[in-house]
Chain A
Amino acid sequence: MTATALSLVDSARPARAVIPARHWRWTQPALVIVAGVLMLGVVRPAVFDLRVFTLVVIYALAAVGLNVLVGFTGVVSIANAMFLAVGGYAWARLADAYGPGIALVSGLVIAVVLALVLGLLLLRLEAYYFAVATLAVGSFATVVMRNWTSVTNSDAGIIGLGYLPVPGLTAVQSVFFLGIILLAFALYFQETLRTSSVGLALLSTRFDAPGSQALGIGIAQSRIIAFAFSAATAALGGALMVQLTGGAFPDQFSITHSISLLVIPIIGGRGWRWATIVGALVVIALPEYFRFLDEYRLVAYGVLVTLVALFVPGGARQLVTWMDTAWRRGVSHLRRKTTSTSGAPA
């Protein structure tokens, strides 16, 4: 960790080289929307495949904030299924009566407030204590979901939920479309954050905490902002999830789902702008197409998570970098060989 910080200080490169290009905040959402439209209009997948891709979009959306939390600030949270639940139950209870706008916004607001409260209480703890704390909060949230019958109807769940219809599209297509739009929004915020002063502050707390503190950046406050963002995107994802399923049950928001959410940015390459999309494809779509592995399917998932965490902590992005480096090395090696055979100095 400190090696990167030193290199930031030593090399004194111009800001341009360190701060990512600002065009991404427009181009990335645009690309996502185009891909979504192509998917619906041109590719037109069959019912099950479309459902899988919709779930991919939902998880990619829900994990954007967590990507910021884990990637920008280095904090691990195993509680985010709780925020999925907030968004989901808010939709379940409010959408039919008060309309989709109120339902989505309420879910988002409640989730953010909850995250702020929890963050204020817990984010002054050291990182690994916070991870354990989120494990406890997640367990406690499940107990609440099961017992707060007046709101959640406990394990019997709330069924017969409506979705936001898009004219000319079926139910699943509508949810897919809404998911793409919300994902585009979330990615816009992610990129804006990355190139803003707040985002740079967050990144510095991950790579060199004491240094950033010396610069006057409040570590706890930065982490709380990131945590709140992770709650916001998760709440939106949760609302979509119950729309897709047509029902809201505590079983949809368990620790397993928190772990899936966490694993998505890790496998994608935490902090990377494409992390949640790549990660969601691996975590959600792959297992559906690997069902031929039968009972070994989940074992393969666990092994993948372990290997990535231990050996490829940069996730898919790191693989891309490796391939890129290997390619460059190969090319320069070839170049050297051809120039040396022709007699010119390398």
Chain B
Amino acid sequence: MRHPRTGRSLALVLSLLAVLALAACGTSDDRSEGATTTTAAKGAGEPIVIGVDLPLSGPSAGAAERMKKAFELLAAEINANDGVNGSEIVLDIQDDGGDPTTGVALIDRFNQAGAVAIIGTYNTPVVLAQSDAILAAKIPQLAFAIGSSIGEKQNPWVFQTGPTDKGQIDGLIEYFKANKITKPAILTDTSAFGTGAKPVLEAAFAEAGITPALNDTFAVDATDVSPVLLKAKQSGADAVVVWTVGPPYAVFATGAQQVDLGIPIFGTASAADPNVAKLAGAAANNIFFQNSIDPQKPAVVEVSNAWADEFDGTVPAEAFSAHDILTIIVDGLKKVGNDREALRDYLDTYTSTSLLAGRQGGTFEFTPTNHVGLGGGNTVWNKYVNGEFTVITVK
């Protein structure tokens, strides 16, 4: 067999040339796709496509499924009531699996499908990754991820429902100051959610002059959190801030009983997840959080009664959020029609006092410089007592 020397040296030379050529190049950041995108069809009677990006597989699947159901329910109601100026709305619901690569690809997919707007998604890293693609495709996006880093990119096409982590943290600090809590323990989960919030928490507390008694992390799928709660207790903290999403609060509730914690736990808005009460039962006690939904608001009560059967009795907070999001988009479509730019301009100055989220009398508002609809103060403090949470009055 011939010794493939010539072949090998040729390959080597080619590779070297390639590397040298590469070394001479720079990188480019320009991701505009040129005029290949189409604007959505404008004919009346043509169905209007709205892209919905949800993490339907993976860790956030539970919450995503609840939102999906709410979107579908509301879309059916809207279509039964003559749709948008006679045109039917069609939701193109796709799963991104929490993967940024898929999320970015979905933007192109929605673009190709002629979507007039994109709703989603839940995970901050995915929304961050999608930012350039959204800018290139020029489709307005209404995301419900709560990372404040999204707003920092100042993408004119990206809107957030809020409240962002910064908004919730500001509300938290306000509560602490009013109730003389001076040494909180800060616990964040090790997923993107907690890791993204950690620096925001640290900065906000530093600015407010509050020194945490403890700053630690825990795993989202931890079977037992008593180690980290014990550390919090022993650090002399007077409150524990636990930053995670939904079901882990149940594990914290039982953990608090195991170590006889004695001090209150403060959570994010997702502590309203019905699974917390379901999994922890009466152990869910002495847990405070800011809910974006006020259950006594008349509009909320109305939707709650209408959808109670669909959600086995209790309509979860995410369903109300989904209701709001679709309402905002559809209101815009009714005013400006099936036009991406016009819709974006509409959203830039959107304000409403009749949405489900927010306090009674509070305003949900977008401005050209603020794309977060629910501000930090526009939430309602709730407290878990023996497995149920209720609104509490705050100073």
Contact = CB atoms under 8 A, between A and B. Distances in A.
Q: Is there a direct interface between A and B, measured as CB atoms under 8 Å apart in the complex?
A: yes
B25 A15 contact: no
A251 B132 contact: no
Interface string A2-15: 00000000000001
Interface in A140-167: 146-147, 149, 154-157, 159-160, 162-165
Contacts of B131: 159
B190 to A, nearest CB: 6
Given A189-B11, A192-B8, A252 B99 contact: yes
Given A245-B100, A247-B100, A252-B101, A162 B4 contact: no
Given A101-B23, A102-B23, A196 B4 contact: yes
Contacts of B57: 295, 298
A80 to B, nearest CB: 16
Contact of A99 (B14, B22, B37, B104): B22
B311 to A, nearest CB: 19
Contacts of B105: 48, 51-52, 55, 288
Given A99-B26, A102-B23, A155 B192 contact: yes
A21 to B, nearest CB: 13
B254 interface: no
B23 A162 contact: no
A251 B100 contact: yes
Contacts of A102: 23
A154 B8 CA distance: 41
A244 B104 CA distance: 9
B215 to A, nearest CB: 14
Given A155-B195, A155-B196, A245 B101 contact: yes
Contacts of B327: none
Given A102-B23, A192-B11, A171 B109 contact: no
Contacts of A174: 28
A249 B27 contact: no
B154 interface: no
B15 interface: yes
A280 to B, nearest CB: 14
Interface in A31-49: 46-49
Nearest to A165: B28
Interface in B3-55: 4, 7-8, 11, 14-15, 18-34, 36-37
Size category of the binding interface on chain A: 35 or more
Interface residues of B, number: 59
Contact of A155 (B4, B133, B191): B191
A164 B125 contact: no
B112 interface: yes
A165 B22 contact: no
A249 B100 contact: yes
A318 interface: no
Contacts of B108: 47-48, 51
A154 B99 contact: no
Interface string B129-142: 10111000100000
Given A157-B128, A185-B15, A249-B129, A100 B1 contact: no
Contacts of A63: none
A295 B98 CA distance: 15
Nearest to B111: A47
A89 to B, nearest CB: 14
B128 A295 contact: no
A324 interface: no
A25 interface: yes
Given A51-B108, A245-B101, A188 B23 contact: no
B316 to A, nearest CB: 20
A246 interface: yes
A278 interface: no
B129 A157 contact: yes
Contacts of A165: 25-28, 30
A188 B14 CA distance: 12
A197 B2 CA distance: 11
B286 interface: no
Contacts of B147: 156
B351 interface: no
A288 B19 CA distance: 34
Interface string A287-315: 01001000101100000000000000000
A102 B37 CA distance: 34
A146 B190 contact: yes
B25 A146 contact: no
B128 A247 contact: yes
Contacts of B191: 155
A104 interface: yes
A241 interface: yes
Contact of A15 (B1, B26, B124): B1
A149 B104 CA distance: 23
Given A157-B128, A164-B22, A25 B99 contact: no
A324 B147 CA distance: 56
A122 interface: no
A246 B132 contact: yes
A241 to B, nearest CB: 6
A62 B33 CA distance: 26
B56 interface: yes
A75 to B, nearest CB: 25
Nearest to A195: B4
A291 B101 CA distance: 16
Q: Which of B24, B32, B105 lies at the interface centre, i.e. has the most chain A CB atoms within 10 A of its CB?
A: B105
Contacts of B15: 185
B87 interface: no
Contacts of A19: 1
A156 B191 CA distance: 9
15 contacts: A47-B112, A51-B108, A55-B105, A95-B27, A149-B195, A156-B125, A157-B128, A160-B29, A164-B25, A165-B26, A171-B30, A174-B28, A192-B4, A245-B101, A246-B132
Interface of B: 1, 4, 7-8, 11, 14-15, 18-34, 36-37, 56-57, 94-95, 97-101, 104-105, 108-109, 111-112, 123-126, 128-129, 131-133, 137, 147, 149, 190-193, 195-196
Interface of A: 15, 19, 22, 25, 46-49, 51-52, 55, 95-96, 99-102, 104-105, 146-147, 149, 154-157, 159-160, 162-165, 170-172, 174, 181, 185, 188-189, 192, 195-197, 241, 244-247, 249, 251-252, 256, 288, 291, 295, 297-298
